């Protein structure tokens, strides 16, 4: 491989030219194989293909947009209906959970009132025994 080694002269700095022959005595030339391996032809083909596709489809896009309009409108309608139904379902679920929460809270309050009544009855009953003794 040739590299641009600087050769220092007393007054000038210049670059070596690539050698015409390699160490085997073969002539150094750009080879088609090196060109293909570099990926340049692939890039050229992709660029030409993209240009052809763009030139073909750009005039068709307005017609495609007009044709797709009813389908897009139907999809949007379905989304609106789905959203409304989902909101109703969430509201019903929220209402049921609030009812369950309120029932559980009422049960806890009743249970604690019963426990307090039992404890106070036990205290009064124990204090009555202590007074009798």
The domain ranges of the chain are 14-132
Instruction: Give residues with Cβ within 8 angstroms of 18, minimum separation 6.
Output: 2, 28
Count of CB atoms situated within 10 Å of the CB of 55: 9
Read off the pLDDT of residues 23-81 as tens digits, 9 standing for 90 and up: 676 666 666 666 667 777 888 889 999 999 888 888 888 888 888 999 999 999 999 99
Please answer whether residues 28 and 20 qualify as being in contact, where contact means their C-beta atoms are separated by less than 8 angstroms. yes
Going by pLDDT thresholds of 50, 70 and 90, the confidence category of residue 19 is low
From CA 17, how far away is CA 26, in angstroms rounded? 16
From CA 78, how far away is CA 76, in angstroms rounded? 5
H-type alpha helices, 1-133: 32-37, 40-57, 61-132
pLDDT score of 38:
73
Which tokens sit at 4? 């641009």
Please answer whether residues 41 and 33 qualify as being in contact, where contact means their C-beta atoms are separated by less than 8 angstroms. no
């Amino acid at each position: 491989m040739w590299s641009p080694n600087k050769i220092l002269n007393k007054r000038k700095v210049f670059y070596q030219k690539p050698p015409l022959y390699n160490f085997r005595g073969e002539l150094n030339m750009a080879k088609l194989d090196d060109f293909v391996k570099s990926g340049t032809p692939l890039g050229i083909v992709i660029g030409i293909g993209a240009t052809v596709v763009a030139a073909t489809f750009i005039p068709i896009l307005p017609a495609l947009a007009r044709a797709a309009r009813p389908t897009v409108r139907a999809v949007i309608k379905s989304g609106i209906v789905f959203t409304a139904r989902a909101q109703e379902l969430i509201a019903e679920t929220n209402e049921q959970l609030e009812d369950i929460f309120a029932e559980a809270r009422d049960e806890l309050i009743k249970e604690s009132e019963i426990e307090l009544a039992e404890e106070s009855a036990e205290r009064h009953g124990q204090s009555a025994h202590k007074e009798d003794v």
